[in-house]
Amino acid sequence: MKHISFICACLLSCVVFAQQAYNVASPYDPATIPVSEEQRGEVITFSINQSLRYPGTTREILVYIPQQYNDTAPACLLVCMDGILYDATTVLDNLITSGEMPVTIGVFINPGVVYDEDHNVVRYNRCKEFDSTDDTWAQFIEQEVLPQVRALKTKAGQSINISSDPNDCAITGASSGGIAAFTAAWNRPDMFSRVYTTVGTFVAMRGGHEYPAIVRKTEPKPLRIYMQDGWYDVWNPIFGEWFEYNLLMESAFNFAGYEAFHVWNRGNHSIKYGTLAFPDAMRWLWKGYPARVNKGTSNNGMLQAILDPTHDWTQVSCGISISGDIYPAADGKMIFAADNKVYMLSADGTCQLLSTLKIGEQLMGEGLTLRSNTLYKDGQKVADGLRGCQAVQELSQGKYVALCEEQTKTNSHVSVLTEGTRALAIAPDYRFCVSGQEHSHHLISTIMDMKNNMLYSEPFYYLHDLTNGTLATAGNMAFDTNGNLYVSTPLGVQVADHNGRVRAILSLPAGAVHSLAFSGNYLYVRCGEKIFVRQMKAIGHNPKHGAMSYQSQGQG
């Protein structure tokens, strides 16, 4: 019996191996056949030995320039991780010649390695660079790689003229390079619109396993995505099953309305099938070019409820550098302080000077300033003894809620919440307030009684993070009239329901959202020194207009 069991086990093992074996008889795509020497593109090699973002690393970069290239017109761009994969230069030679791809310059980037003085490897940087989910890799490409590529010359003396239009730019990679390709486009859709990812490591290495949930919650971006993976894909099961996570990603793309295509096969964690699929992936990603890659329509009910599909983000500017918090004002406008002056900005870009701040005075909201531990309303003192205050919200009928570093002298109009940060929001019904915790996924919910005393604080709201541990509630928060909370974070504006769960994420190509102001149905955000505004279906609640009831969402 044991002998029979052993034979059965061996047969089963052979069957499994056979299922994973590559079909060497697979027909080859014509685009994989090498072209003549005269038709081949040129490849230039250079190294980056000094990096601001990855100190001490050395890497080789190869640049492919097709025969059809002419520097009088900007070429499209294909960025690939781990050097020249997929026999890519041969495929590009063929597809560009046949017109199935536009004239495209390929930039093939190897991961960084740190060597000691004897040229011994001290550290491999590949996992750090490729599997991280923040925007550092995209910044490296944009600010350290592409400028050096553009400084090159071809053998014929032509300059390297690459388009900066994201519709003209694609990015690809395998394994950790596959998630790196997606991450770069996800964080910077203003750089890339077309993504090819093979055997991507969307697993628990450096946060990639969070992507399926975040894709479902985030407003769709203008991305076209081609995925390849094998049923037996796994490199190390400690981090998860590669194929299962790729299935979750494909499901998330489908739910979120992306134009996404997938090819699953019997392969394992190998580039073999990714190479076979590469020609068709390029044809599909560039189909219809130069028609633009557009946003899809998500099935996310929260996004549908709060967003007006006829309006998108618009950048507004009044020529003034803004670096602090922004606050809601009347009639769908917002206010901000700059150079000790207070301004009001409209959605059409109209800017009006309101007042001048005194030295040491801080703007806390419309008409509110804080100076020398004293709170002023339109220049009139309303409360004092507020040492260490970082945020103040005005309630109706001359009442205020303040966030301070320590319990201090108050009067009947001010309640003090200790150990907070500058982020503070009051629920529309005045029943609780929310405050931020620095470097935390959580926001604190604190119940307020009828006298605005603070009771029963607990970490209640949970925020998402793709910044590899640097999450902070960087700016302020606001409620809409339905009781949903809008929070400015490095990931974008995260919108949470009554039970503290983020259901929607609004991201911007400009990057992290540092502050927001929700006035009427206009949502303003500050990204760095840039201000964007969007007309919403939802309406922001201004606490000074008084308490209002709203329908409960239950405990579901």
Residue 23: pLDDT over 70: no
Q: What is the mean pLDDT of residues 363-370?
A: 87
pLDDT at 544: 85
Can you spell out the DSSP letters for 219-267? PP-S-EEEEEEETT--S-TTS--HHHHHHHHHHHHHHHT-EEEEEEES-
> Assign residue 189 a region: left if phi > 0, alpha if psi is -120 to 50, beta otherwise?
alpha
For residue 60 the two structure tokens come to 């080789």
**Homologous superfamily (CATH) for 37-285:** Alpha/Beta hydrolase fold, catalytic domain (3.40.50.1820)
Can you spell out the DSSP letters for 19-74? HHS--TTPPPPGGGSPPPGGGPPEEEEEEE---SSSTTEEEEEEEEE-TT--TTSP
The CA distance from 507 to 494, in Å, is 9
Q: What is the mean pLDDT of residues 182-195?
A: 96
Report helix, strand or coil for 398. Answer: coil
Compute φ and ψ for 338, nearest 5 degrees.
-155, 130
Report helix, strand or coil for 138. Answer: helix
List, for residues 40-59, the tens digit of each pLDDT value. 999 999 999 989 999 999 99
> In this structure, are residues 64 and 41 in contact, taking their beta carbons and an 8 Å threshold?
yes
pLDDT at 362: 87
> In this structure, are residues 49 and 138 in contact, taking their beta carbons and an 8 Å threshold?
no
List, for residues 51-101, the tens digit of each pLDDT value. 999 999 999 999 999 999 999 999 999 999 999 999 999 999 999 999 999
pLDDT at 5: 44
Count of other CB atoms within 10 angstroms of residue 450: 7
Query: Hunting for tokens 């100190």 — which residue is that?
Result: 55
Give the strand pairing for 424-426 and 432-436. antiparallel
Q: What is the mean pLDDT of the chain?
A: 89
Fold of the 301-323+381-545 domain = Hemopexin (2.110.10)
Q: In Å, how far are 64, 128, 226, 266 from 263, measured between CA atoms?
A: 27, 27, 8, 10
pLDDT at 452: 72
Q: Return the closest-CA partner of residue 521 out of 302, 326, 303, 332.
A: 332
**In the chain, domain spans:** 37-285, 301-323+381-545
pTM attached to this predicted model: 0.91
CA 81 to chain centre: 20
pLDDT at 373: 83
The CA distance from 391 to 26, in Å, is 65
pLDDT at 364: 85
Report helix, strand or coil for 402. Answer: strand
For residue 101 the two structure tokens come to 């791809």
Q: Which of 314-318, 414-418, 445-449, 470-474 has the lowest mean pLDDT?
A: 470-474
